[in-house]
Structure 1
Amino acid sequence: MRTTFVCLCLAVSGNVTAGKLAFDDKFRQLEEILPTPNSYRTASGAPGHQYWQQQVNYDIDISLDDKTQRLTGSETLDYQNNSPDSLRYLWLQLDQNRMKPGSGYKMSESAPASKKITYKKFRTMVETPKFDGGYQITKVTDSNDKPLHYVINGTMMRIDLPKALKSGDSVEVNIDWNYQLHEQKVLGGRSGYEYFEKDDNYLYELAQWFPRAVAYYDVMGWQNKQFLGRGEFTLEFGDYEVDITVPADHIVAATGVLQNPKKVLTKAQQKRLKKAKNAKKPVLVITPEEALANEKSRATTTKTWRFKAKNVRDFAWASSRKFIWDAQGYKAGNTDTMAMSYYPNEGNPLWERYSTEAIIHTMEQYNKYTFDYPYPVSISVNGPVGGMEYPMITFNGPRPTLNEETGEKTYSRKTKYGLIGVIIHEVGHNYFPMIVNSDERQWTWMDEGLNTFLQFIAEQSWEENYPSRRGHANDITSYMKSSNQVPIMTNSESIMQFGNNAYGKPAAALNILRETVLGRELFDFAFKEYALRWKFKRPTPADFFRTMEDASGTDLDWFWHGWFYTTDHVDIALEDIHLYRPNSQNPDTEEAWERALDNESPEFISNLRNKGQWLRTQDKPELLDFYNEHDKFTATNADRNKYNKAQKDLEQWQKDLLVNDSNFYILDFRNIGGLVMPIILELSYHDGSKERLTLPAEIWRKNPKKTSKMLITDKEITAIAVDPNWETADVNVNNNYWPARPIKSRFDLYKKKKADMMRDYNEALKSADEEPSAGKEPSAGKSEDEASTDKKAR
């Protein structure tokens, strides 16, 4: 700490380049970037008085062939044009066309980044190009069964209408189709089947399985970006009636409410399902014993399961003879639903214990921060898909591990919390984007990021110190300082480090906004307002940004700009500390002050080594005078006379300021990372007490690279910590402390084997004769999942 003697005259410096101030305005308003408000979307972030959206209703019959793993379907699509526009054609999504040979998805896949590859990944690489998936469209007609002209463009199909569909009118389209299902664990994706070799059974999870209307809305028009596998789905709300025909020994889980339980369930199963409605714990509708019996059977007949779902944007289902089914009713506020889980015996003992409980926990927590869950069911299915969401139904992955020798099934800590976490996450997606219906094809973060943030809150209320994977500011620091990143406001297909960018960073940003920038009260009110405003509507990023500002009463443009539009990171360094005091101008008082400062200075090395040497004044003391008897700090009568004269011209309040004995600390900060943030300080005092201060982000408004803050205290500061609780995602906390702290680590000692020594020796000889490979990165070949969980020391 530098101690300075000053008359309280402070100067402000700026960045000057070629005679002009080089100013980077981190607080520039976003209005020049965001779309202009209008009657559809207001400047406050709320839907406008002329907001509209389309509605599409579906009546579908689908059959599953368990021998050939093929789906055959027929649908009637009722498209209601609520827009002010006339439409000459409709666009539909054919997402399964992603699996066709030569599709955009297959042809745009880049080569692996490394020669080192797993057997599983290699199998996927080999099998994907030759799999002949995709829709076989066999019929497209109008309500009178007259053929309609259509054109298929990759994963999109344009249906040309005989006459323009005027505003307020509707049109009916009939489509027949079929396609080949794929083994999900081989070819990946969000649906498919899992094959159980030991009992020769299949478990099907079906999604994106029917031609679906493309979203048409005021901001985008037709959202007809091709489906390349990552950017998910942008859909319209509507009512569904779906008949699902499967082998008679299959159990079906689906979006919506089962309409014909008497035809597909036994009387005992119907009774259990009814009992579950008011149960205090999950009730087995299909028991493990019944599931095992179904596994061994091979029905020669079929059953049709009939479901209805109102006001949903999609429909998914699962089917297998292996399913155990448990259920429990949950009722609170305006929520009155059935939480249900479907899983094979391979899922126990994990699934029977945690799945349905996690569904209910998710609704309890999400309802607090958004709105009451409005649908009559919420389902979790265990199958090949690791985690995916649809209205009222989710597909989730982890299972226990079977010891083949003992037959015992166990699960690790990672598996347990992985299951709870993925169910919370996927069930949470019913809120974002299944109800708050953002454009997933364009902006992944609007559903994944917001949902991961709420997942973190829900996980933390599950148990103390729940090991959340994402949400804490500290979890995102390795990514924030990496060079391999793009802004959050990047289209889904162009994102690098997908998990960190679309899930982790926005979740951490919102947690920081809640805990540090706004505080919980303001944030929670604003976030809930956003959810309520856009429930069953389609918001854009601008609507979210504007609503959060409008409802919190806070200008957050600097926050959105830094966190969402740039790749800046947080690295705020505490560079210097100065201690000031007023110059009392009293020579007797200042004599003691200056002498004390001088005594704090080290003695120069020459002076130390000259001690004891011969001095002329030792032999000739007559050379000593007044100035040898008194040091340079001694006050003289002339000094005192000058002081007394000056005192006569001062008013009393000015005299009082001169004898102010407070400590004036000036702290110098540097913004190394570029992202402006509040500066959180923990001050430790000489008396053992501590104080916490938060300097708002606006302290950087005049100079985003460096700033200073004066603290006036009656007590002596002995230590200062910036961001003491690691709440701002500061990537380098080692420059956050005064006095500086040692960076702690450890040596990992090991005994080197002789073979390793010879290999290293040979590699060293080889590398001495070779040039380094151009462009090769040290992390090449590391999977994105590995990279996302790679936490480096801060």
Structure 2
Amino acid sequence: MLKIIPRFSIILIILLIFSAGAVFSQTKYDPSGLFPALPFMPPGNTYRTATGEPGPAYWQNKADYVIDVALDDKTNVITGTATITYTNNSPAALSVLWLQLEQNVFKKDSRGVQSKLFLYQNPGVVPADGGYQITGVKLSGSKAGDLKYHINDTRMQLQLAKPLLTGQSISFSISYQYNFPVNYKNADFLVNRTDILPTKNGNIYAVAQWYPRMCVLDDVEGWNTLPYLGNGEFYLEYGNYQVNITVPSACIVEASGDLLNPEEVLTPVALKRWQQAKQSDVPVQIRTAKEVTDASSRPARPTCTWKFRLDNARDFAWTASRAFVWEAQSFKLFDGKRVMGSSLYPVESEKQNSWKRSSEYIKFTLQYFSEKWFPYPYNKAVNVASNLDGMEYPGMVFCSAKDTGNMYWAVVNHELGHTWFPMVVGSNERKYAWMDEGFNLFMDNMATKDFNKGEFIGYAEIDSPLVSLFNERLLPIVSRPDVLPGNQVYPLQYQKVAYLLALLRNQILGPERFDTAFKKYIRDWAYKHPTPWDFFRSINNSAGEDLTWFWRSMFLENYCLDQEMAKVESSATTQPVITIANLEKAAMPLVVQITYTDGTTEQHNFPVEVWEYSSTYTFAGSKKSAVAKVVIDPANLYPDINKGNNTYLAK
């Protein structure tokens, strides 16, 4: 319908435009950037819908692994054969396959070393040459034969003799070995996710990124073949694992999957305790500290082969050591499922404020997150004391053997929390670490407040001041992990994301709406590969809100918030008139508290939409009285970078 605008109205509109322009010239704020008419996200499609769910045509390839591996703990050499069955569910035929060879980052000429992203503290030291030695790549089955391959840094390309059609599978085996990386903690490398911890009773091996792994082929970027440089983590396909690990019989092994042959690798005494632990509600010592140096606590033969199975997982890790104290306990989740928590550590770590509480922390974390968000998917959870500060894998985590007190709680809770992100929700950590670390820390912070009546403060021990998270020199949250300076990794990818999700939950949407939306996102994308757009769409549609202003300013950009007390008009006989200015590029809901001269107070809560039109907002108090004080955001709920202009005091 065409509406005729009177002439005087046109004049008024022109005056308002010029008036608004004068305000904008004094502010960085542009409403049209945060409240656009056109969508800022790419349109949905049959693979990924506009409502943030996997579409009817969503597809995902599958990688199943059967791996036979051996560890020589005298030479620290791992030798293995990985048989991979790869299923092509994509709509296209594949003439090549891509795999990740992360151990190649330890080669002295790797991109990780040359880019210096992987270097620890001494760039003048030339690291020992490491990485994979591939001894054979063969096709399985009746048409067995060698497969042609090319290795470039941490990637391997397999050339197929004929295309792998949609719905078809191919099996091939890769034989390999590598020298276990030297303990670089005090030498060359900062980031090492496979490591050796020397203890007085033997080395503890944290064995991860230890086999050739399929790259992800998805509908967003095709083959995801970003090189492993050290900082960025992983993006992996789901599948089933059968893993056979041969080690000297003096070693105890634990791994991601279920142990299939306990009677073959445990002594009768240890086997009885292990079986007891699977049903015990209290911790059971499968091997005690006193038994660590007792040869009779292990079978009397040269080697043992430990057999494990894990289904519908994106990775597999394991540990081995002669030095392990081994404790286990089982417990029920909210749905009645019984899970076993398994803890392994050296005698040096057996302390009351440290690893002796491992079973307690495992039980609480799994029960809390399962009931709050999504059921724990595995039959056990393994916590291993290692030389790593903390690293997560399906059903298994490595935590520092030296941590005590609050940080020990924080690391165990955090690493086990990674079960939900990225083990269940399989986002691309290589590019979007914040969808892994930040989401997890958000959940951790809630769990920490509820654990043992707030016994610990968790990662708040190392948090940066809130105002520093909105420093204009910081990169946006969506920055690739390998691009971030070291001092921005934790503040951006962890702390800022956790803070923003808590802000969205507690102040913008409310706990009920947010929790419902967050749980739906987890359910929809469990064992799938969401992108940031999928997450944004999912929360928008579940909550029924267009949060473009929030995602753009806080995640895609590094915008700041500065709400200013611009003007207060007050008298004893009229309602006060208050004007607030938005000076920076970000917008947030507005909370203003008025204190009148008679001591009464009132609080006004305005939605973010008050900033859709202009960089200023004017409203009247409800009482005809002079004001003594007016404060923006009196409870400090929002990330205003300049609190100095938030208060008006009457003279």
Q: What is the Cα-based RMSD across aligned positions, in Å?
A: 2.8
> 2:498 maps to which residue?
507
Aligned residues: 625
Which of 98, 109, 112 is the aligned partner of 1:91?
Answer: 98
> 1:191 maps to which residue?
193
> 1:737 maps to which residue?
647
In 2, Cα distance between equivalents of 1:569 and 1:385: 35
Alignment of 1:290-369 (within 5 A): 290-293=291-294, 301-334=302-335, 335-349=337-351, 350-369=353-372
Deviation at 1:437, TM superposition (A): 0.4
> 1:441 maps to which residue?
430
Q: Which moved more, 1:318-327 or 1:725-734?
A: 725-734
Structure 1 pair 106/298, CA: closer, same or farther in 2 (3 Å)? farther
In 2, Cα distance between equivalents of 1:365 and 1:74: 38
Structure 1 pair 740/395, CA: closer, same or farther in 2 (3 Å)? farther
Structure 1 pair 92/299, CA: closer, same or farther in 2 (3 Å)? farther
Matched AA of 1:420: W
> 1:494 maps to which residue?
483
Structure 1 pair 737/331, CA: closer, same or farther in 2 (3 Å)? same
SS of equivalent to 1:253: strand
In 2, Cα distance between equivalents of 1:241 and 1:376: 15
In 2, Cα distance between equivalents of 1:294 and 1:32: 67
Deviation at 1:257, TM superposition (A): 0.3
In 2, Cα distance between equivalents of 1:294 and 1:433: 40
How high is the sequence identity, in percent, across the aligned residues?
A: 35
Structure 1 pair 210/495, CA: closer, same or farther in 2 (3 Å)? same
Q: Is 1:202 aligned to residue 203 of structure 2?
A: yes
In 2, Cα distance between equivalents of 1:475 and 1:281: 40
SS of equivalent to 1:698: helix
Deviation at 1:196, TM superposition (A): 2.9
Deviation at 1:474, TM superposition (A): 8.4
> 2:236 maps to which residue?
235
Structure 1 contact 193–205 (Cα < 8 Å) conserved? yes
Q: Which moved more, 1:150-159 or 1:294-303?
A: 294-303
In 1, Cα distance between equivalents of 2:627 and 2:293: 71
Q: Which moved more, 1:102-111 or 1:137-146?
A: 102-111
Q: Is 1:698 aligned to residue 604 of structure 2?
A: no
Matched AA of 2:612: R
Structure 1 pair 103/474, CA: closer, same or farther in 2 (3 Å)? closer
Deviation at 1:160, TM superposition (A): 0.6
Alignment of 1:750-789 (within 5 A): none
Q: Is 1:79 aligned to residue 86 of structure 2?
A: yes
Q: Which moved more, 1:685-694 or 1:417-426?
A: 685-694
Matched AA of 2:170: V
SS of equivalent to 2:32: coil
Structure 1 pair 341/443, CA: closer, same or farther in 2 (3 Å)? same
SS of equivalent to 2:494: helix
Deviation at 1:294, TM superposition (A): 5.7
Structure 2 contact 334–371 (Cα < 8 Å) conserved? no
Alignment of 1:309-708 (within 5 A): 309-334=310-335, 335-349=337-351, 350-399=353-402, 415-462=404-451, 463-464=453-454, 466-470=456-460, 475-483=465-473, 485-496=474-485, 497-579=488-570, 663-703=574-614, 705-708=615-618
Deviation at 1:688, TM superposition (A): 4.1
> 1:779 maps to which residue?
none
SS of equivalent to 1:394: strand
SS of equivalent to 1:563: helix
Deviation at 1:101, TM superposition (A): 1.4
Alignment of 1:27-106 (within 5 A): 27-29=34-36, 32-106=39-113
In 2, Cα distance between equivalents of 1:365 and 1:195: 31
Structure 2 contact 576–624 (Cα < 8 Å) conserved? no
Deviation at 1:267, TM superposition (A): 2.1
Deviation at 1:188, TM superposition (A): 4.1
In 2, Cα distance between equivalents of 1:76 and 1:268: 35
Structure 1 contact 573–670 (Cα < 8 Å) conserved? yes
> 1:624 maps to which residue?
none
TM-score in terms of structure 1 length: 0.74
In 2, Cα distance between equivalents of 1:506 and 1:38: 27
In 2, Cα distance between equivalents of 1:521 and 1:572: 28
Deviation at 1:24, TM superposition (A): 4.4
Structure 1 contact 474–729 (Cα < 8 Å) conserved? no
> 1:270 maps to which residue?
271
> 2:3 maps to which residue?
none
Matched AA of 1:459: T
TM-superposition CA deviations, 1:540-599 (whole Å, max 9, x none): 10110011011111111100011001111222222321126xxxxxxxxxxxx8xxxxxx
Structure 1 pair 724/149, CA: closer, same or farther in 2 (3 Å)? same
In 2, Cα distance between equivalents of 1:43 and 1:383: 44
Deviation at 1:280, TM superposition (A): 2.9
Structure 1 contact 204–319 (Cα < 8 Å) conserved? yes
Structure 2 contact 249–301 (Cα < 8 Å) conserved? yes
Structure 1 pair 30/133, CA: closer, same or farther in 2 (3 Å)? farther
Deviation at 1:93, TM superposition (A): 0.3
In 2, Cα distance between equivalents of 1:95 and 1:226: 8
Structure 1 contact 452–507 (Cα < 8 Å) conserved? yes
SS of equivalent to 1:290: coil
Matched AA of 1:305: W
TM-superposition CA deviations, 1:107-138 (whole Å, max 9, x none): 111799xxxxxxxx54x5455x3311110000
Structure 2 contact 257–308 (Cα < 8 Å) conserved? yes
Deviation at 1:286, TM superposition (A): 1.6
Structure 1 pair 47/61, CA: closer, same or farther in 2 (3 Å)? same
Structure 1 pair 359/296, CA: closer, same or farther in 2 (3 Å)? closer
Structure 1 pair 84/739, CA: closer, same or farther in 2 (3 Å)? same
TM-superposition CA deviations, 1:732-777 (whole Å, max 9, x none): 3232223299xxxxxxxxxxxxxxxxxxxxxxxxxxxxxxxxxxxx
Asked which structure has the greater CA Rg, the reply is: 1
Alignment of 1:10-29 (within 5 A): 13-16=19-22, 23-29=30-36
Structure 1 pair 23/212, CA: closer, same or farther in 2 (3 Å)? closer
Which of 123, 131, 136 is the aligned partner of 2:133?
Answer: 136
In 2, Cα distance between equivalents of 1:30 and 1:547: 19
Matched AA of 2:155: M
Structure 1 pair 168/288, CA: closer, same or farther in 2 (3 Å)? same
TM-superposition CA deviations, 1:438-460 (whole Å, max 9, x none): 01111111111111111111111
SS of equivalent to 1:150: strand
Deviation at 1:480, TM superposition (A): 1.1
Structure 1 contact 371–528 (Cα < 8 Å) conserved? yes
> 1:170 maps to which residue?
169
Is there any run of 5+ residues in structure 1 with no aligned partner, and where? 1-8, 113-120, 401-414, 581-592, 594-660, 742-794
Structure 2 contact 288–325 (Cα < 8 Å) conserved? yes
Deviation at 1:231, TM superposition (A): 1.4
SS of equivalent to 1:521: helix
TM-superposition CA deviations, 1:166-209 (whole Å, max 9, x none): 0000000110000011233243434333353644x211001100
> 2:6 maps to which residue?
none
Structure 1 contact 322–343 (Cα < 8 Å) conserved? yes
TM-score in terms of structure 2 length: 0.90
Q: Which moved more, 1:50-59 or 1:362-371?
A: 362-371
In 1, Cα distance between equivalents of 2:123 and 2:348: 28
Q: Which moved more, 1:57-66 or 1:341-350?
A: 341-350
In 2, Cα distance between equivalents of 1:72 and 1:464: 46
TM-superposition CA deviations, 1:210-252 (whole Å, max 9, x none): 0000001111111001111111111000000000111101111
Deviation at 1:700, TM superposition (A): 1.1
SS of equivalent to 1:210: coil
Structure 1 contact 216–222 (Cα < 8 Å) conserved? yes
Deviation at 1:36, TM superposition (A): 2.1
Deviation at 1:98, TM superposition (A): 0.5
